[in-house]
Amino acid sequence: MERTGSRVTHEGTQVSVRIDEFRYEDGSTSQREVVSHPGAVAIVAHDERRLLMVRQPREAVGEEKLLELPAGKLEQGESPLECAKRELVEEVGLEAAQWRPLKRIYSSPGFTDEEVHLFVATELTEVDPEPGEGERIEIVEVALDELEETIGRCRDAKSLVGLLLFAELRRR
């Protein structure tokens, strides 16, 4: 499979849409409409007794306080790890001395190229949170013995993958 062409069909304020053309090994071709995304990170930041999550309005899905892992989009030129460090400070006011990659996932590979880099962050130190302009973020401390209930309440795909993989790691 080879991408043989690409043209942008919509430049929005946050989202752009393109049509890519592909040729397959059997000689056939196809076009695919793709929502371009810069990629994102999400972080399982924890110590021995708790992990940190956030609640925020997610207008796209009509939720006023969606429960999620700290997360955010990659900025121009930023590596996933740099982005994760920045978002952890901005959203929950934490720095971490230890960072481990947990998983890289595709959010919805049928229509968008968004890839989310999941990290586990430990050895936490508190700093001042620096919410971006217009962000309405509430920090939520989750006791580790409430991990299973929290998974039950969570409906965000990237956060569920992070929490479920973290729960698996803890059982080992």
Q: Is 100 in the site for its own copies (CB under 8 A)?
A: no
Name the active-site residue from 48, 59, 133, 148.
133
3-class SS of residue 108 = coil
Q: Is 66 in the site for its own copies (CB under 8 A)?
A: yes
Q: Is 161 in the site for its own copies (CB under 8 A)?
A: yes
CB of 128 to its own copies, least distance (A): 23
Joined together, the tokens standing for residue 169 give: 């790691």
Joined together, the tokens standing for residue 158 give: 């990237």
In the beta sheet, which residues pair with residue 34? 18
User: Which one of the spans 28-36, 43-51, 83-91, 120-128 is the region binding its own copies (CB under 8 A)?
Assistant: 28-36
| Residue 61: DSSP 8-state | G
Looking at the Cβ atoms of 34 and 92, the one nearer to its own copies is: 34
Q: Is 115 in the site for its own copies (CB under 8 A)?
A: yes
* Cα→Cα distances 163→79, 109, 130, 159, 170, Å: 23, 21, 24, 6, 10
User: Which one of the spans 46-54, 61-69, 89-97, 123-131 is the region binding its own copies (CB under 8 A)?
Assistant: 61-69
Phi, psi of 90 (to 5 degrees): -60, -45
Q: Is 30 in the site for its own copies (CB under 8 A)?
A: yes
Q: Is 84 in the site for its own copies (CB under 8 A)?
A: no
Q: Is 140 in the site for its own copies (CB under 8 A)?
A: no
Per-residue b or e along 63-91, where b marks 16 or more CB atoms closer than 10 Å to that residue's CB: eeebbbbbbbebeeebebeebbbbbbbbb
User: Which one of the spans 33-41, 46-54, 84-92, 122-130 is the region binding its own copies (CB under 8 A)?
Assistant: 33-41
